Amino acid sequence: MVAQPAAIARTGSARPLLAVRGVTLGWRHERRDVVAAQNLSFDLEPGERLSLLGPSGCGKSTLLKAIAGFVPPAAGSIELDGIAITGPGPDRMPVFQEFDQLLPWRTVRGNVAWPLRASGRVKSRDEARARADDVLARVGLQDFADSFPHTLSGGMKQRVAIARALALQPELLLMDEPFAALDALTRRRLQEELLDLCEDLRLTLIFVTHAIDEAIVVGTR
Ligand code: ADP
Ligand code: MG
């Protein structure tokens, strides 16, 4: 657990960064109720890295999508900084498992810079470019800024997806099995790189995985 004073300094109160309260997630599917998660409650403090571990189908992705704002809770509430989440936003950036998260017709730099302007986080093209280059250097892709996604390996594509999320400087990074499709060695390397980024940038992370070893390596909780 990260000490409470960080939250107090940031918000002027002891309020957590994320508050999940009695959340139930589900759908009506072919005249049946499908419940993906039931009565979940937890807090997340700034700088924490929460590993969400569980078998396939237990509702991990659905919870992450609810926090991202894609899935409204059937019951309960999710608040970021004391404000109810009502839809997606650049303050909560997801990184998914799939390698096809990138726009194939844009360069690596373009993939990172474009959302900065589209979201209104950065106004000028030059500033977006500069921030993209800065964050690409952080993930070791400075020499590939002009490359197109199809020329990259899976691990490199995931680095671009991480860079794109980090460039937006989200309050919360949401990762859904981001390394699950990588070979064991690349996965190990990316886990270590992610931990370095978390330490350097003091990221707050929810990391979904079905691998126990990965949950332990990545998470503080
Ligand atoms: P996990 O990520 O832990 O593998 P999911 O959150 O993807 O699990 O799925 C949890 C449950 O919710 C599963 O039973 C799945 O079939 C169901 N589910 C997920 N998305 C939908 C949807 N859009 N409509 C109906 N059921 C869904
Ligand atoms: Mg899933």
Tell me the DSSP string of 75-122. Answer: EEEEEETTEE--S--TTEEEE-S-STTS-TTS-HHHHHHHHHHHTTS-
pLDDT average, residue stretch 189-209: 94
Tell whether the model's pLDDT for residue 96 goes beyond 70: yes
pLDDT at 3: 42
Distance 10 CA to ligand 1 centre (A): 35
Distance 31 CA to ligand 2 centre (A): 23
Query: Rounded to whole angstroms, how far apart are CA atoms 168 and 152?
Result: 22
pLDDT band of residue 7 (cuts 50, 70, 90) is: very low
Output the residue whose Cα is nearest ligand 1's atom 10: 59
Could you give the maximum distance between any two Cα atoms of the chain, in Å? Answer: 53
The number of the ligand nearest the C-alpha atom of 96 reads 2
Pairing relation of β-strands 92-95 and 18-29? unpaired
Output the residue whose Cα is nearest ligand 1's atom 5: 59
Task: Verify whether ligand 1 is closer than 6 Å to residue 27 (CB atom).
Answer: yes
Measured CA to CA in angstroms, residue 204 lies from 19, 31, 40, 46, 217 at distances of: 13, 38, 19, 5, 15
The number of the ligand nearest the C-alpha atom of 72 reads 1
pLDDT band of residue 13 (cuts 50, 70, 90) is: low
181 CB burial (10 A radius; 0-12, 13-18, 19+)? middle
Query: Rounded to whole angstroms, how far apart are CA atoms 4 and 206?
Result: 18
Q: Which atom of ligand 1 is nearest to the CA of 60?
A: 3
pLDDT at 29: 86
pLDDT average, residue stretch 87-94: 94
Distance 57 CA to ligand 1 centre (A): 6
